[in-house]
Amino acid sequence: MNTTISSGENSLTVFLAVWGAVLSSITFGWNLYRDLLDRARLKVEAQVRRIVRSPDGRWYQVKPDLGIAGASDQLFVVMNVTNIGRRPVQWQGWGGKHIKPERDKDSFTIVPTQLPKMLAEGETHSDLTRELMADVENIQSLFIWDAAGKKWYVSRKCLRKLKEDARKFRA
């Protein structure tokens, strides 16, 4: 019995082995990429705003330098959170850390007005407070936390802009 394999059959076997390895590597990479993207992600911003009530009774936030009739004289720190991930997230609360501790505490919690709030994919929600306006220069970081206890921080750039706007519009 002769068991020699012709070169045509050998090259077909090698081709199929290489093809299977490439295809399985691409599939593994795609699944890993998809699973890493399939998670909750939040965009967190803090801004100085005034609030105004529209004729239909809804409340809106506006920039402090806009001359809109009926806008509040008081300035508020407004935390805007957008779910930019694929999974729903429940926003539980927000707070931050002080640069210099106040009343022997280095962190603070804001009593929320409209929380907890479940944020579906692409959904946005805002919460506001007057308490931080007097103390905005002493804020080291601002963050929110979700139902799992994960903290989502305001970026340094956004925090810097918040402090600049607070100085500008308080004067």
Please report, for the chain, the start and end positions of each structural domain, with discontinuous segments joined by +. Answer: 1-38, 42-170
Q: Which residue has the tokens 């506006």?
A: 62
Examine the pLDDT at 12 and tell me if it is beyond 60. yes
* 94 pLDDT more than 90: yes
Instruction: Specify the pTM.
Output: 0.74
> pLDDT tens, 108-121?
988 888 889 999 99
Per-residue H/E/C for the chain: CCCCCCHHHHHHHHHHHHHHHHHHHHHHHHHHHHHHHCCCCEEEEEEEEEEEECCCCCEEEECCCCCCCCCCCCCEEEEEEEECCCCCEEEEEEEEEEEEEECCEEEEEECCCCCCEEECCCCEEEEEECCCHHHHHHEEEEEEEECCCCEEECCHHHHHHHHHHHHHHHC
pLDDT on residue 152: 94
DSSP assignment letter at 38: S
